[in-house]
Amino acid sequence: MDTPYRKIALVGNPNCGKTTIFNALTGSHQYVGNWPGVTVEKKSGFFEQSGKTVEVVDLPGVYSLSVLEGSSEDERVTRNFLLYEKPDCVVNIIDASNLERNLYITLQLMEMQLPLILVLNMMDAAADNKMKIDVLGLAQSLNVPVIPMIASRSKGIQELKDQIIHADFHADGNFVIPYPAPIEEAVRKITPYLSKKSEREGWPVRWLAVHLLDGDTDARFFESAADVAEVKKLKASFPAEYGEDPDTLIADGRYEIIGDLAKRLITHAGRVSQTVTEMIDRVALGKWTGIPVFLLMMYVMFLWTISGGDLLIDPISAWGDKYLVAGSAEWLKSEHAPDWVISFLSEGVGRGLSTVATFIPPIGLLFLFLSFLEDSGYMARGAFVMDKLMRRFGLPGTAFVPMIVAFGCTVPAVMGSRTLSSFRDRLVTLVMTPFMSCGARLPVYALFAAAFFPENGGNIVFMLYLTGIFIAVCSGLIMKSTILKGNPVPLILEMPPYHLPTLKNILLLTWDRLKGFIIRAGTVIIPLVVVLNVLNTVDFHGRYIPDTPENSVLSSIGKAVVPVFKPLGITQENWPAAVGLMSGVMAKEAVIGSLDALYGTLSNATDAATRLTEFFDGKIGAFAYLLFVLTYMPCFAAMGAIFKEFGWKWVGFTALWTTGQAFALSTLFYQSATINRHPETSLCMIAAVLCLEAVAYAGLYFFGKRRRRDSL
């Protein structure tokens, strides 16, 4: 992309509709990465109008620009971008139905003397609350352009684009908040320590002084350590001298301005007896109905995903086998290509592409449903409902927000734990999150459900997801009672009003997630299937043996590791199942890629589902296998995120803990279900697993006890 005409930043509170506006401005012209040095997601995009290109940066949603010791990386990223990247304009998006609360960050932006456009989003919600806002009066009072908007219906988007393109941006250098006398005196005292730095960086010195009094202690704002000490000394004197901390007095000054604006510019046409949101929440958040509603939503999601996916998977799989595998092989034969080339391209690349294509229906439907729940406002309610349940067990309710994210992918869920203020809660979340069934596991469930549970596949998948939640909670309880004792931090979560999402916005959210999954799956599965195909057609002497795969390198490796998986019902003849689990360490979607590629060479069946039934021990063996897929170690990408956040020790612990629980759960299920076939063997295995679980718990308990004793 050429150098943009302008760079703008979107700033606002969480749930103000910022993402909707970002999608409306940029459409599909988006790219996602990480901010340098941190794992917070960076979303950027662009739009073109009047022959000019504008770059749009969607900053993380924050309630304040004051970065304190316990602040999240989101707040730090937003503040640093505004200070050091110096966008041409900041588009401050606020929820019009919660104007007073949202204006707090507006005043902070104005104190920074940044060129500003104010967007009053959700004007329909304000009208539903019988609020009338004097938009012109607000623009005149703050001396900034104000655009009323209903982003969910694209009302006001074009006006915003016009303003961005044609406005002559300038900051209001005369805007000053009159703070209480103690703050004004403190600003006067510390200004000399900040003048050189503010002048060199181009920061307003008054804003910098107030910002530091508000609690930010970043050393980059000072010339020397002595200056830092002087400011800290001045702040420490406030409680004794004035009876209040400086940040409280600063907040009082800002809210006095906000209160005056609200009094003059907001009128209420009448009293709202009960909003639609309140009526729905009486059920969605009810004491006795909240959890059943949440479970119902999850059940409908899996029923929708599996039933809808089943309608499309078989035709896509048949099309892939016909054209990408068999069709390409026939064409290559007609061109007299060598057998190894045909095997490489048709059974390797072709089958890899076919496998990736079969993933799209269930994953796309899952992301579509999650996007609907998120955009409608229910997702926050789900986290709130589960918070109440988890806190009854002493677990951090804050953990459930990343856990819900993990339904899509474990990687952003692990990274999302950074927003939790307590490091202990972050670790508990880390232990719990891998058991939440990510979207990459869904194609595995869908294929097995079609093969072994054709009449109640949705129920089976729902049961797997509930099992994952149950194991996650049990793991959290074990950690809480052993190595991670302590009190959880309360969950503070804003409840956005319900609204009916637009099809365009849901499709954009879905495509954004699905595109990333397809790219990630394609880059893993296609090379993996090619490698597996090569290893499955050569022996240890390097001879090409496509007609006897039972003598191949891969077969020998698979059969060598099968005894490890024998307790959960995997036999020597089903060695591809063991290879599938090993390849799943790289990416969970690779399990199906491996099984489809390997069973295709060992079976004459025409579809993948039928091939599965020939090798597994019926429904019992299939479900035991699914339990293992559900609970064993996360993929390499997730482990990389864990390393980035917590280091090698927790990578190792996560791998051992999750895989250990996978072996235990799968073995207990399979041996209990088949105990009538071999009672003595099954009883011995069940007893051995329970003893190992007890030893693991005792080890964690004594390690935690010693760790707490050493820290005293």
Please write the tens of the pLDDT for every residue from 464-519. 999 998 999 899 889 888 888 876 666 666 777 787 887 888 888 888 878 877 88
Residue 34's pLDDT band (cuts 50, 70, 90): very low
Number of H helices, E strands in the chain: 31, 9
**What residue spans define the domains of the chain?**
6-166, 181-249, 285-448+481-503, 527-711
Nearest to 402 by CA among 389, 387, 392, 388: 387
Say which range, 20-34, 573-587, 601-615, has the weakest mean pLDDT.
601-615
Q: Could you tell me which CATH number the domain at 6-166 has?
A: 3.40.50.300
Say which range, 13-22, 242-251, 368-377, 591-600, has the weakest mean pLDDT.
591-600
Q: Are 376 and 603 in contact (CB under 8 A)?
A: no
Q: Report pLDDT digits (tens) over 142-169.
A: 999 999 999 888 899 999 999 998 877 7
pLDDT for residue 624 is more than 90: yes
Structure tokens at 532: 């597996």
pLDDT at 698: 93
Say which range, 27-31, 252-256, 491-495, 608-612, has the weakest mean pLDDT.
27-31
- DSSP sequence for 387-451: HHHHHHTT--GGGHHHHHHTTT-HHHHHHHGGG-S-HHHHHHHHHHGGGS--GGGHHHHHHHHHH
Which ranges in 536-589 belong to alpha helices (H)?
Answer: 553-565, 575-583
Q: Report pLDDT digits (tens) over 85-118.
A: 888 999 999 999 888 889 999 999 999 998 999 9
Distance CA 651, CA 657 (A): 10
Residue 389 makes CB contacts below 8 A (sequence gap 6+) with 291
Residue 37's pLDDT band (cuts 50, 70, 90): very low
For residue 270, the 8-state DSSP code is S
- DSSP sequence for 70-112: T--HHHHHHHHIIIII--SEEEEEEEGGGHHHHHHHHHHHHHT
Distance CA 436, CA 638 (A): 13
pLDDT at 51: 84
Section 12-27 average pLDDT = 86
pLDDT at 345: 84
Distance CA 664, CA 655 (A): 14
Q: Report pLDDT digits (tens) over 633-647.
A: 998 878 888 887 888
pLDDT for residue 683 is more than 70: yes
- DSSP sequence for 317-386: HHHIIIIIIIIHHHHHHHTT--HHHHIIIIIIIIHHHHHHHHHHHHHHHHHHHHHHHHHHTHHHHHHHHH
Q: Are 443 and 362 in contact (CB under 8 A)?
A: yes
Q: Starting at the earlier edge strand, list the strands of the sheet with 52-58.
A: 30-34, 41-49, 52-58, 6-12, 89-95, 116-121, 146-148
Long-range contacts, 252-255 (Cβ 8 Å, 24+): 252/180, 253/177, 253/178, 253/179, 253/180, 253/183, 254/104, 254/107, 254/108, 254/177, 255/104
Distance CA 251, CA 253 (A): 5
pLDDT for residue 680 is more than 60: yes
Strands 30-34 and 41-49, sheet pairing:
antiparallel
pLDDT for residue 656 is more than 80: yes
Distance CA 39, CA 637 (A): 13
pLDDT at 72: 66
- How many CB atoms sit inside 10 A of residue 44's CB? 18
Say which range, 294-298, 382-386, 462-466, has the weakest mean pLDDT.
382-386
Section 560-589 average pLDDT = 88
Structure tokens at 73: 């990386």
Query: Coil, strand, or helix at residue 274?
Result: coil
Distance CA 395, CA 487 (A): 8
pLDDT at 38: 41
Distance CA 689, CA 712 (A): 35
Distance CA 595, CA 444 (A): 10
Section 120-135 average pLDDT = 88
Distance CA 84, CA 78 (A): 10
